[in-house]
Structure 1
Amino acid sequence: MSKRSYSAEEKYEILKALGDRSSREVASLYKVTHSSILVWKHKFDKWGLEGLKKSSTWKKYSKELKLLAIKDYLSGHYSIREITRRYEISDASVLRKWIKKYNSHSELKDTSQGRTRAMTKGRKTTWKERIQIVIDCLGNGKDYQEAARIYNVSYQQVYHWVKKYEEGGEEALKDRRGVKKEAAHLTSEERIALQMKKLETENERLRAENLFLKKLEEIERRRK
Structure 2
Amino acid sequence: MSTTIDQLFIGRVQPILPEGGPTGIYKAAVAGRVMLTPTGLQGDEQGDLRHHGGPHKALHHYPVEHYALLVQEWPHCAGLAGAGVLGENISTRGLTEHEVCIGDIYRIGEARVQVSQPRSPCWKIDHRLNADKASRFVEAAGITGWYYRVLTPGTIAAGDRIELEERPNPWLSLAHYWDSITAHRPDPALFRRIAEAPGLAPDKAERCRERAAWLEKNGA
Per the normalisation by structure 1, the TM-score is 0.21
User: Which one has the bigger helix percentage?
Assistant: 1
Q: Higher relative CO (CA 8 A, sep ≥ 6), structure 1 or 2?
A: 2
TM-score for both structures, normalised by structure 2: 0.21
Higher strand fraction (1 or 2): 2
